[in-house]
Amino acid sequence: MITYKEYHIEQFERGPKRWVARITRTDGRKIRTILPPSEHTYLDTKPTASAEKAEELAKEGIDFGGLV
């Protein structure tokens, strides 16, 4: 698990070559999204071929994805 800005990112494999990164807040609060407006305990990226790509998608989501 890594910490990026105010979020934890954890990568795990959901099958052969299907890596997903799970985003949670470091303070334990729920993640709010702008579109659609909602709150989540965690968010998962779409499956990718590698853990590195899943981590990259998570960082892009944090930077540009409308997470609050």
| Residue-by-residue DSSP string for 14-27 | SSTT-EEEEEEETT
Please, which pLDDT band fits residue 35 given cuts at 50, 70 and 90? confident
Per-domain residue ranges of the chain = 2-64
Q: What is this structure's pTM?
A: 0.90
pLDDT computed for residue 31 by the predictor: 95
Please, which pLDDT band fits residue 38 given cuts at 50, 70 and 90? very high
CA angle, corner 11, sides to 68 and 66, nearest 5? 20
Average confidence (pLDDT) over 16-36: 94
Average pLDDT in the chain = 93
